Amino acid sequence: MQKVAVITGASSGIGSALCERLLQEDASLHVCLACRNMDKAKATRDRLLSCFPHADISMVKVDVGNLASVLHAATEIKKRFCRLDYLFLNAGIMVNPRISISAFARGLFSRRAVRMLTTAEGLMTQEDRVTSDGLQEVFETNFFGHFVLIRQLEPLLCCLEKPSQLIWTSSVNAHRSNFSLDDYQHSQGREAYSSSKYATDLASMALNNRFNKQGLYSSVVCPGIVMTNMTFEILSPLLWKLLMPIMWLVRLFTRTYTLTPYNGAEAQIWLFKQKPELLDPLVKYHSCTTFFGKNYVETRKMDISEDLAEKFYMKLLELEKQMLEKQTIHDSIENTA
Ligand SMILES: NC(=O)c1ccc[n+]([C@@H]2O[C@H](COP(=O)([O-])OP(=O)(O)OC[C@H]3O[C@@H](n4cnc5c(N)ncnc54)[C@H](OP(=O)(O)O)[C@@H]3O)[C@@H](O)[C@H]2O)c1
């Protein structure tokens, strides 16, 4: 039976490179591009078809920062497929990210220089907004929209005879210190991105606890530092180009400067080829690139605890219930109007 992979955020950057690499690995795979912008999705599909003319590629519209869109996409996916082998939860945003020049200068001459350069910890300022659903945008887009999608697609993902894989694009920037159970949407803090990525790490652990027995396995990856639309919002492409020789040199000290979307997708591709039952749910899979450009995957233990993951999961179920009830009321008002 033909395998099916759904990829959110497939319209650019790492998601788009991932689709290409998936087809290189398995030309018979059905690749479903789950994107919010259908023009961009079509452009990605056409580009993929120009390299793989016989590839089986479909598209589904989904804005993971909008609950109604997520529910609609889930219904559509359930109509089209009877099972999913891979769900790549890759779409993500940072709102108005900026490098703090003063923090950079201070950090560069301190003992935490390498940590700052490899994790961007303390280096960036960002903003956040509230979506039409009333949730923090970074939380809903990077995490909660995906969580609801998984829950809606459970019937297609849970099959004892054949395991399915959830593969989240997390980050090395997912820090426990930026996450709080009391403010898991991070409405009060200034590290919404880090908090949302820590949320994915926690949820992945809780999902494994719940669903492994039903044949569903979850893993998290970090693509490294990659030049994509997201990084081009931090600095202009020209500035990144000028910094490129320095970033190549930094590869002597850290392998996480993967730089290209192709390299950044290494960990996702590695996971695609593994037996999920044999994976360690407590590690994050990092895409790495050596100074000479060789790609490989490094595993690093995540700073997560089962207790926190379970408490967070219970809060998520509560939020999901509230949001679905709100959506049902909204739909019935729309239908009677
Ligand atoms: N680049 C890095 O250095 C880096 C490092 C660590 C982790 N990551 C993670 O890697 C993932 C991919 O990012 P990228 O670097 O490839 O950046 P990117 O080129 O900006 O890609 C982000 C993708 O997410 C999609 N997206 C954003 N908001 C969405 C929404 N509300 N609904 C549906 N799709 C949405 C974008 O769609 P549009 O094309 O319509 O905008 C785009 O396809 C993200 O989760 C990011 O956090 C990136």
Query: How many structural domains are present in the chain?
Result: 1
pLDDT tens-place string over residues 149-200:
999 999 999 988 899 999 999 999 999 999 999 999 999 988 999 999 999 9
pLDDT tens-place string over residues 78-104:
999 999 999 999 999 999 888 888 878
Q: Which residue in 86, 184, 193, 257 is the catalytic one?
A: 193
* Ligand 1 atom index nearest CA of 69: 32
Q: What is the predicted pLDDT for the residue at 119?
A: 74
Cα 321–Cα 323–Cα 326 angle in degrees, nearest 5: 110
| Structural domain range at position 40 | 4-336
Q: What is the predicted pLDDT for the residue at 11?
A: 98
CATH number for position 208? 3.40.50.720
Q: What is the predicted pLDDT for the residue at 123?
A: 80
Is 193 catalytic? The answer is yes
Q: What is the mean pLDDT of the chain?
A: 94
Which residues sit opposite 284 in a β-bridge? 220, 300
* Ligand 1 atom index nearest CA of 15: 16
Residue 107 CB less than 6 A away from ligand 1: no
Q: What is the predicted pLDDT for the residue at 328?
A: 87
Q: What is the predicted pLDDT for the residue at 87?
A: 98
Percent of the chain whose predicted confidence (pLDDT) is above 70 = 100
pLDDT tens-place string over residues 68-77:
999 999 999 9
- Dig out the tokens for 309 from the structure: 């993951």
Q: Which residue has the tokens 């790609």?
A: 295
The rounded Å distance from CA 222 to ligand 1 centre is 13
